[in-house]
Amino acid sequence: MENKHYNVIIVGGGISGAALFYELAKYTNIQSLCMLEKYEAVATLNSKGTSNSQTIHIGDIETNYTLEKAKITKRTAKMVEKFCLQYGLENKIMFSHQKMALGVGEKEVHFIENRYHEFKTLFPYLELWDIEKLKVLEPKVVYLDKARTKVRPEPIMAMGTNTQYTTVDYGAMAEALIEQAQKTSTEKTDIFYHTQVTDIFKKKDKHFELHCQNGNIYTADFVVVDAGAHSLFLAHKMGYGKHMGCLPMAGSFYMTHEHFLNGKVYMVQNNKLPFAALHGDPDILANEKTRFGPTALMLPKLERFKPGTYLDFFKTLNFDFHIVKIFWDLLKDTDIRNYVFKNFLFEVPFINKKLFVQDAQKIVPSLREDDIVYAKGFGGVRPQVLDKEKEKLMLGEASINPKNGIIFNMTPSPGATSCLGNAERDMREIVTYLGLNFDEKQFLEDLTE
C-alpha cells in the first residue's frame, strides 16, 4: 500500500486533466504533481478519438454560439492549435479540413447570411458560399442524385473556410500533453494507472486524503477532479454540488463506407434543442470516411462501453422534485419531445438506420441506407449538468470550486477544445492558493495569440 504526498493531485486522465498536468509542470515551480487514472492509460473514455467529433470548436460554424461566447471559445481553441504547432503535431494529431455551416431553405439561408456578416469581424477568414461554389467545394450537399444531374430544390448557402486547422485526435493530444509535461519538468510528475479514487477527505491540517479502490492512500495540498460525470459523483460524496444533478447523454454515429464529404458540414442549430445538431465529419481515425452524428440518448450510466456505473448514475442524478420539474419543462416542448423520441428510435435495430438517413439527407440529399453503417464502439457520454436551484439544464462546462483547495470539473462539449483554457483558470487558482511562481510571460507567448 502506498501513501504519498503531493502539492497537487489531478483525478482523471482525460484531455482536461492532461492539460492541467502540462500547464502546472511547464509554467509553475510546483515541486510535486500527481495524476490518478482509474484505467490502464490516459484518454480511454470521452477524450478518446472515437468518442467525440474530433472538432476544434472555435465558434465560427457552431450556430448555437453567440458572438460573446465565440470570442471566449476562439481564445481557448487557439490554445489547442498553438500547443500542437509548438511541438510539430500538425498533420499528426491536428489536421486542416474544409468546414462550413450549411443553411437549407429560405429561413436558414437568411440566417446564414446575417450570421456571416456579424461573425466576419471576429473570424475574418470566413467566406459565404452560394450553390455554385458549393458544387465545387462540397458537391454532395447540392445534388439529389449520385450522378449529379439533379440539384436539390431548396435554396442553400453556407458560411465556411478551408484555411484553418479544424480537427484533433484529442486522445493523442492528451498523451502528448503528458509526454511534454514529464519532459519539461525537473520536479516530481507521477502518474498512477489502475488507480480509482473512491473517496476524498478534507483533513484538519488542510491536506486532502484520497482513498483508492486498490487500497492506496494519497495526500495533497490541492486536488482537481477532472473525472467527467464522476467529478460530480465525488463532489456529492464530499457534500459539494448538491444543487446539481447529472444527466448522461450518449452520442452515437453512423459511418459511410467510403470518403463522402470533403470537410466538416454543420447544420443550423435549433436553439430549442440543448444538444448538437447533426453534422458530417471526415474521421481521421477511419481513413477520412465521413462520420454522421451525433444522436443523443440518455443512458442510465456514467461511462459508455464500460461495465457498471449504473448505481453511480442514480446517485449522481440526485433525483428529487426539482429534477422532475426540469424533465417536465423539457418534455412539454413539442420540438424537444419529438427530438428525444426520435433519438430513442435511432438506437432501435431495423428502423434506426432508415430514420437516421432521413435526417442526414438534409446534409447529403443522395444519401441512402446502404451508404452507411452504425459506427459500433464510436461515441461517448457527456455529463450534462442539471441545476436544481434554477430548475434548468446547464449547457457547457460546469465547475464546483468551494475555494478551499479542491475543484470539481464537468466538461461536456466543447470541453476538449477548452481544455487548455479551463486548465489555465484552475492553474491560476492553484498558483494563488499555494503561493507558487507562474511564468505568465512564457505561458502567454506559447499558448495565446
Q: What is the pLDDT of residue 2?
A: 61
Q: What is the pLDDT of residue 185?
A: 73
Q: Mind listing the pLDDT tens digit for each residue in 288-328?
A: 999 999 998 888 999 998 988 999 999 999 999 999 999 99
What's the CA gap between 283 and 259, in Å, rounded?
A: 9
Q: 477532472: which residue's cell?
A: 226
What's the CA gap between 161 and 139, in Å, rounded?
A: 16
Q: What is the pLDDT of residue 63?
A: 94
Q: What is the pLDDT of residue 213?
A: 95
Domains and CATH numbers, the chain: 3-97+162-447 (3.50.50.60), 98-161 (no CATH)
**Predicted TM-score (pTM) of this structure:** 0.96
- DSSP calls for 324-364: HHHHHHHHTSHHHHHHHHHHHHTTSTTTHHHHHHHHHTTT-
Q: Which of 401, 32, 37 is nearest to 221 (CA)?
A: 32
What's the CA gap between 439 and 412, in Å, rounded?
A: 29
Q: Which of 173, 145, 185, 242 is nearest to 24 (CA)?
A: 185
214-202-43 Cα angle (round to 5): 45
What's the CA gap between 377 and 274, in Å, rounded?
A: 24
Q: Mind listing the pLDDT tens digit for each residue in 27-67?
A: 999 999 999 999 999 999 999 999 999 999 999 999 999 99
In the sheet with 381-387, reading across from the earlier edge strand, the strands are: 297-298, 244-250, 381-387, 392-393
Question: CA-CA distances (angstroms) from residue 35 to 27, 244, 304, 366, 408?
Answer: 17, 26, 22, 48, 14
Cell reading at 68:
460573446
Q: What parts of the chain have a pLDDT lower than 70?
A: 1-3, 274
Q: 446539481: which residue's cell?
A: 244
Three-class DSSP category at 439: coil
Cell reading at 424:
489555465
